[in-house]
Amino acid sequence: MRAQQHHQNHRMIWVIIAVILIIAGVGTAFFVHQQQAVKARETSLSRASSQSASRAKASSIAESKKASSIAASSSKAKLASEMAADPLYKAYKKYGLTYEMIQVAKTLQISAVGDSVMLGSDYGLKELFPQIQLDASVSRQVSEGPALLQKLQAAGRLADVVVVGLGTNGPVDADAIKAVMDVVGTSRQVFWVTNYAPETSWMTTNNQEIEKAASTYDNFTVIDWAKLVAPHKDWLTADGVHPEVNGQAWYYTLIVKTVMAKVLK
């Protein structure tokens, strides 16, 4: 009887252990399932959050692009309005002058020395270069240039941009150009206008010397009036040298255009 009771107790213990193991297994499975469910929810929430953030970023970028486009359109409209209202731009854009060139030219300090060809166009140069110091006179020789520039330098008035329009009335050689460049130095930019006086014996050699100087001096730029005017005899007065009104406009706008292209480079 006691042995039977012991056997039953033993069986009961195993039953209890089995039940405990089953419950533990079910609990573990439930816990794992819950963990997986939580992880799945977290992944779903993270994906949704990421998608929401991406949509928000895309929306922000789109808004930013839209704002930039509106600002650019507004800026373009303002610029177009300013260009339309600028009388100088309206008058000179047909000569190849840009709006930027004309605006910067208004404040650019320039020293210019020349002969009667430049003198005839001084009004246009002064209109487009309001800050210019221009000294041009009839029958002036290139040999007079250095002294004129030296005088400006001594007075502290020699600008960083120097325009030379000499050579119509006589020969220009390497020494004459060097004399000008010695006064100007290497820190200033020199722009030399080629000569157009086809009946003279020196025009061709003058222009050759001027062209060569551009290779000799780093701060030397040629303004090729001779090349521009040669096919347009109607731009000149009866003497075939001095520009008439239409030719003067092409002369001084060529100077402005060449100078500003270099300054704005």
Give bridge partners of residue 163 from the DSSP assignment: 112, 191
Please, what is the end-to-end C-alpha distance for the chain in angstroms? Answer: 118
**For residue 83, is it within any domain?**
no
Order the strands of the 220-223 sheet from edge to edge: 132-136, 110-114, 161-165, 189-193, 220-223
Within a 10 A sphere around the Cβ of 119, how many other Cβ atoms?
17
Confidence of residue 128 (pLDDT cuts 50, 70, 90): very high
Under a CB-based contact definition with an 8 Å cutoff, are residues 194 and 222 in contact? yes
CATH of the domain at 110: 3.40.50.1110
pTM for the full model?
A: 0.74
User: What are the distances in angstroms from CA 42 to CA 35, 93, 108, 232?
Assistant: 10, 66, 67, 82
**Exposed (0-12), middle (13-18) or buried (19+): which is 202, by Cβ within 10 Å?**
middle
Q: What is the pLDDT of residues 75-119, one digit of tens each?
A: 888 888 899 889 999 999 999 999 999 999 999 999 999 999 999
Q: What is the pLDDT of residues 5-48, one digit of tens each?
A: 555 655 666 656 655 656 655 455 544 556 665 566 666 656 65
Average pLDDT for 256-263: 98
Average pLDDT for 192-215: 98
Among 49, 78, 107, which residue terminates a domain? 78
One domain, residues 228 and 186? yes
Confidence of residue 219 (pLDDT cuts 50, 70, 90): very high
One domain, residues 12 and 65? yes
One domain, residues 122 and 59? no
Q: What is the pLDDT of residues 231-249, one digit of tens each?
A: 999 999 999 999 999 999 9
pLDDT of res. 124: 98
**For residue 57, is it within any domain?**
yes
Instruction: Return mean pLDDT, the chain.
Output: 86
One domain, residues 167 and 232? yes
Q: What is the pLDDT of residues 159-200, one digit of tens each?
A: 999 999 999 999 999 999 999 999 999 999 999 999 999 999
Higher per-residue pLDDT: 55 or 217: 217
Give the integer Cα–Cα distance in Å for 64 and 226.
53
One domain, residues 97 and 208? yes
